[in-house]
Structure 1
Amino acid sequence: MDVKSWKTVCRFEEQPDLPVLDSVDVLVIGGGAAGVAAAETAGRSGKNTWLVEKYGFCGGAAVAGLSGTICGIFIATDDKNAKPKQVVFGFTERFRQALAAKGGVTGPQIYGKTFTVTHDPLVWREVADDILEQANVTTLFHTAVTGVIMDNDTFKGVVIESNAGQSIILAKMIVDASGDAALIARAGMGYFFGDNGRIQNPTMFFRVGGIDMERYLDYYGNDTICPAKVTESILAANASGEFDLPRHKIWMFPTTRPNELMVNATRLAGQDGRMLNVIDPKDFTEAEIFGRRQVRDYTKFLTQFVPGCENAYVVDTGVEVGIRQTRSIVGVETLTNEDVLNCRKRSDSICRTPWPIELHSGNKPKLHWLLDDYYDVPYNTLVPIVGENIIVAGRCLSAEHEALASARVTAQCFEYGHAAGVAVVKAIDENTPIRDLDVASIRTTMINNGSAL
C-alpha cells in the first residue's frame, strides 16, 4: 500500500450530500493524552468542543497501547541520592493528581537516571471521562474520520463514520491529535516518516500478575530498567535454543495493583526483518499477531529465569501495539536533534522536556540522558507549514528523528494538547490565524493554568 495516497479530500463548495451532525467551535480528533488535554482546555474555556475517538475510551497509546507510564515529568541526574525533581506541571500535573485521587497512579519509580510513574489504564479512562464531562465536551466514541472538508488550504470540517453511517462535523478550529497526523495527511499536506523513512519499532506492552513482589524486587532491584544479569539470562535463554527473544534490555514496572508488573520487553519487526510502519494495516496486523506471541515467550522467560515470577501469568496486553512513531508534520518550525542535545531554551516554549533520547531501533534501546537539565519545545512545531484552522498535538509534532524519540512521551503530549487548546480558543476569540497568534499570550495563559515555562 502506498500510504501517502490514503486520503479523502472534499472541497467545501462541493461537500458530500451527507447530514451535518453539528457546527462546532473546536473539533479534536483523537482522545489520547494530547487530545484529552486540548478538548478539556477548549471546553473549560466555554467553547462548544467535540472530541472524536475511534475506540470506546480515551487514552491512545497510554491506554490502548498500554504504555502505562507518565514519562517526562522529572529531571535526570547522576546523583544516586537525588529525590525526584519535577519540572513539568500544568495539565500534566492536574491529570496526575486526578489519577492519584482515584488510586490510579504510583509514586515515582527509578528509571535509570530519572523517575517515572505507572498508572492504571482503567482509571486513566475514567479520569478522562470525568474531566471531559466537567468541561462540557461532547465525546463521540467508536467514530472514525474518513475525510476532510477543505476550502483551499483551510480546514472547514471532517467526514466521520460510525455504525450510524456517515455524517459531517463542521468546525471553526480543528486539533489533529490523532498521533499520526491523520488529517494533515488526508488533506495532502506535508509530513515525513522519521529519518528518511526509518522510524522506531512498535512494541506490545503487557501486564503480568502472580508476582511475589518481595522476592522479585530483591533480585531485580528498584530500577525499572533491567540489571545486567537479566540481560545475561535472556542471552543464555536464546543460546539454549528454547527461546528467541529479540530484545535483550527490558523494562518492568510495579503497578498500582498488588503483585502485578507492567512489562516493556517486546521488539517488533517484520518476519522478513523489515521495519514495520503501522500506518500500513498489513504491517499493523503483523505487529499485533507476533507481538502477542512475543508476550507469551517473554512471560515464559520470566517464569523460568526471574525469581518471584515463577507463577507469573499474562493479565492483558495492549488493545493495540504501542506506537512510538509514524508521521511527523512539516511544521513552521522543527525541533532539531541539536536542540535536544544542547538543552536549548526558548522564549516561545510551550513545554519543558527532560526525558532522554529513547530510541527504539535494533536489539538494544538507545538512551542519551539529559542530565540536570531540559530543553524547550517551541509553539510552532505544532503548526503545519501549510494549512489554516488546524494545529496538531501529540507525537506527530514537527521534530527530527532523535529529537522525537525524546519529545513524544506522555507528560509532554499532555502539555502539547494544553497549548493547542489554548491556541484554538485564542484564534477564535481574537479572529486570528493560529500561525499568527502571540505566543507570549499563549504562554501566559498556560502559566496561569499551572504550567512551568
Structure 2
Amino acid sequence: MAAIAAARTGARTLVVEKYGYLGGLMSLGMHMLGSLDGDGYWALGGYGRELLLDLVDSGYATRPDVDSLFGALNAQDPEALKLHVLRMAADAGVEFLFHSVLVGATATDGQVSSISVANKAGIEELRARTFVDCSGDADLVARVGGEFTAGRDGDGLMQPVSNIFKVSGVDLAATWDYLEAHPQDRTAPQGWSGEAYSMDYIRNTPGVHFLAFHQLIKAAKSAGDFSIPRHSLGIYTFPDRDDVGINLTRVHGIDGTNPRDVSRGEVLTQLQTLESIDFLRKYVPGFETCYLVSAPHQLGVRETRHIVGSYTLTRQDVMDGRDFDDQVGRGAYPLDIHDVAPGERVLGQQVEGGGITLWKLAHSYGIPLRALIPNGLRNVTVGGRCISADHEAAGSVRGQAVCMVTGHAAGTIAAIGAKEDSPVGELAPDAVRQVLREQSAVLERTDRAV
C-alpha cells in the first residue's frame, strides 16, 4: 500500500521486498478484521478498500460485514490477493526489487541518504529523497538511530508468535453438526467481548471465522495428545471450499528481531503444525482425512519494535475511538492481545491456558500523522505494526486493515515530502490530509457500509 500510494502521489517509487511477490502476511490466509468498525462504518478506505473490493468483484473475497465477536470481518483468497496487489502496484508505476533485504543505511543529522540491500548481486546501495519503513520491525529506523521501544513497557516482553497453515479435505458440514450438538464447544472465548455465534450464523455466513473446540483441546491435553499453549482453535473458511486456515500454533519468548529467536520460533511452530494436524484428524469431526496444503513463508510475528513519534497511540485512544486534528486514517481491528507468557493476566484478566484478550471496537479510532514519523529522522515515514503505539494499542494497530491504512498514509506523506523537498515532520497536516481525501482515504467516521 505504501508503494502504491507513493507512486500514485507522483513520486518515482521503488519497493524493496525480500520475497518474490507483494502482500506480506496477508498471504497467509487469515481473514481480514477491521475494515469496518462494529457499528458498520468503514475504517478502511483508499487503496486498501480498492484492493478489497477488486477481490470481492472477482470472487476472491467476501464482502465485509459486522460480526458479533470481531466487530467486522471478511475472507479473502491469499494467492489471488498477491496477484491483484501486484497488478495494482505495476499499474501505478512502482519499480520492484525482489529477493532483497536491508542490511545497512547511511544517515547524517537525521537525514537518511542511502540504504544498502543484499541480494544475488551482492550488496547494492540505493539512494532516495525519502524512505518508508514497512518492515514490521522498524528495521530502517533502528539502523539509523531513530527512537523506538520494544515490546511491553517495563519488561520488553512481546506477544507470542504463530504459524498459520491451511488444510484441505475438510467436511465442514460434519464440523457444524458437531458444534450444534455440543454448544459448550462454541461459547465465546474467555477474555473476549461480544456474543457467541448461533449455529444459523455459522452455517450461513460466507467466510465465517471462529474460535471453538475448547473441550476437545482439554480432552486432548488430558490424553497427552496436545502440548501447544492454546485453549481454542481458530478456523478460517471460504465459501464453497473444503480448505480452511488453522490458527493453533503458539510460541512465547520470541524476539522477532533476534535471528536465533526467530529460528527457534520457526522450528517450534512448524513442529507444532504436525502436532496440530494429528489433533485435528483424531479429535475434530470433519477433519478426519484432512491434509496440509500450504504452510506460511515465514513465522507470524505479532510484535517487536514500536517507533517513538511525537505522539504514541494508547489503549485508551483505541478503546475510546478517539479523533485527532492530524489523523491520516482510521483503525477498527479489535484490541487483540495474546498473553506474553503462559497463564499471564492480560489487561487485568486471568486467561487460562494460553489465552487471548480480544475486545471488538464499535467505534473506529483516528491515527495521527505524528505516530507515523519517528523522532530524530527527517525523511523517514513508517507504516504497519511498528508505528508509534504502546504495547496494548499495538494489539489493534497490527491488524491487516490498519496496516493498509497506515501504509497508504506513510507512502503519501513520503511522496509529498520528496516532491516538496521538505522534512516529513514539517509538512502541513491539513495539506497532507487533503491529498489523502482525494485518494479516498477515510479520515472521518461518516461512511457507513452496513
Code of the residue aligned with 1:128 in structure 2: it is V
Other structure's SS at 2:5 match: helix
- CA contact 2:326–2:429 (8 Å) conserved in 1: yes
Other structure's SS at 2:209 match: coil
Q: Deviations over 1:72-116 (max 9, x none)?
A: 112226xxxxxx553322222111022224432234474724221
Q: How does 1:14-29 map to 2 (within 5 A)?
A: none
Q: Deviations over 1:410-431 (max 9, x none)?
A: 1111111111122122212333
Q: Which residue of 2 aligns with 1:421?
A: 411
- CA contact 2:36–2:44 (8 Å) conserved in 1: yes
- CA contact 1:119–1:256 (8 Å) conserved in 2: no
Q: Which residue of 2 aligns with 1:17?
A: none
Change (3 A) 1:256 1:289: farther
Other structure's SS at 2:246 match: strand
Q: Which residue of 2 aligns with 1:3?
A: none
Q: Which residue of 2 aligns with 1:89?
A: 45
Q: Deviations over 1:294-313 (max 9, x none)?
A: 11212222222222111111
Given the two structures, how large is their TM-score scaled by the length of structure 1? Answer: 0.85
Q: Work out whether 1:42 is the aligned partner of 2:32.
A: no
Q: Which residue of 2 aligns with 1:403?
A: 393
Q: Which residue of 2 aligns with 1:29?
A: none
Q: Which residue of 2 aligns with 1:255?
A: 238
- CA contact 2:29–2:77 (8 Å) conserved in 1: no
Give, in whole Å, the separation in 2 of the partners of 1:141 and 1:252.
32
Give, in whole Å, the separation in 2 of the partners of 1:91 and 1:412.
12
Q: Which residue of 2 aligns with 1:54?
A: 18
Give, in whole Å, the separation in 2 of the partners of 1:253 and 1:57.
23
Give, in whole Å, the separation in 1 of the partners of 2:134 and 2:239.
28
Q: Which residue of 2 aligns with 1:13?
A: none
Given the two structures, how large is their TM-score scaled by the length of structure 2? Answer: 0.85
Q: Work out whether 1:206 is the aligned partner of 2:191.
A: no
Q: Work out whether 1:264 is the aligned partner of 2:255.
A: no
Q: Deviations over 1:317-345 (max 9, x none)?
A: 11111111111111121101221222212
Give, in whole Å, the separation in 2 of the partners of 1:396 and 1:201.
16
Q: How does 1:267-278 map to 2 (within 5 A)?
A: 267-269=250-252, 275-278=253-256
Code of the residue aligned with 2:55 in structure 1: it is L
Q: CA deviation at 1:188?
A: 2.4
- CA contact 1:359–1:366 (8 Å) conserved in 2: yes
1:216 equivalent among 131, 152, 175: 175
Code of the residue aligned with 1:324 in structure 2: it is R
Give, in whole Å, the separation in 1 of the partners of 2:169 and 2:58.
23
Q: CA deviation at 1:432?
A: 2.2
Q: Which residue of 2 aligns with 1:446?
A: 436
- CA contact 2:332–2:402 (8 Å) conserved in 1: no
1:169 equivalent among 104, 121, 126: 126
Q: Which residue of 2 aligns with 1:301?
A: 279
Q: CA deviation at 1:256?
A: 5.7
Q: Work out whether 1:367 is the aligned partner of 2:358.
A: yes
Q: Which residue of 2 aligns with 1:192?
A: 149
Q: Work out whether 1:337 is the aligned partner of 2:301.
A: no
Give, in whole Å, the separation in 2 of the partners of 1:429 and 1:450.
21
The alignment covers a number of residue pairs equal to 401
Give, in whole Å, the separation in 2 of the partners of 1:75 and 1:356.
9
- CA contact 1:302–1:310 (8 Å) conserved in 2: yes
Structure 1 portions without partners, runs of 5+: 1-36, 78-83, 270-274
Q: Work out whether 1:72 is the aligned partner of 2:34.
A: yes
- CA contact 1:71–1:117 (8 Å) conserved in 2: yes
Q: Deviations over 1:262-312 (max 9, x none)?
A: 11111113xxxxx11121111111111111111121222222222211111
Give, in whole Å, the separation in 1 of the partners of 2:355 and 2:293.
26
Give, in whole Å, the separation in 2 of the partners of 1:108 and 1:423.
28
Structure 2 portions without partners, runs of 5+: 180-198, 203-207, 343-353, 444-450
Other structure's SS at 2:271 match: helix
Q: Deviations over 1:211-250 (max 9, x none)?
A: 11222234345262323xx101101110112322320122
Give, in whole Å, the separation in 1 of the partners of 2:391 and 2:130.
28
Code of the residue aligned with 1:404 in structure 2: it is A
Change (3 A) 1:219 1:439: farther
Q: Work out whether 1:134 is the aligned partner of 2:91.
A: yes
- CA contact 1:111–1:225 (8 Å) conserved in 2: no
- CA contact 1:358–1:366 (8 Å) conserved in 2: yes
Other structure's SS at 1:323 match: coil
Q: Which residue of 1 aligns with 2:110?
A: 153
Q: Work out whether 1:114 is the aligned partner of 2:67.
A: no
Q: Which residue of 2 aligns with 1:383?
A: 373
- CA contact 1:44–1:135 (8 Å) conserved in 2: yes
Change (3 A) 1:113 1:209: same
Code of the residue aligned with 1:329 in structure 2: it is I
Code of the residue aligned with 1:159 in structure 2: it is S
Q: Which residue of 2 aligns with 1:347?
A: 325
Give, in whole Å, the separation in 2 of the partners of 1:146 and 1:291.
26
Q: CA deviation at 1:257?
A: 6.7
Other structure's SS at 2:261 match: helix
% same residue: 30
Other structure's SS at 1:142 match: coil
Give, in whole Å, the separation in 1 of the partners of 2:137 and 2:215.
36
Give, in whole Å, the separation in 2 of the partners of 1:59 and 1:242.
35
Between 89-98 and 382-391, the greater mean CA deviation after superposition: 89-98
Q: Which residue of 1 aligns with 2:187?
A: none
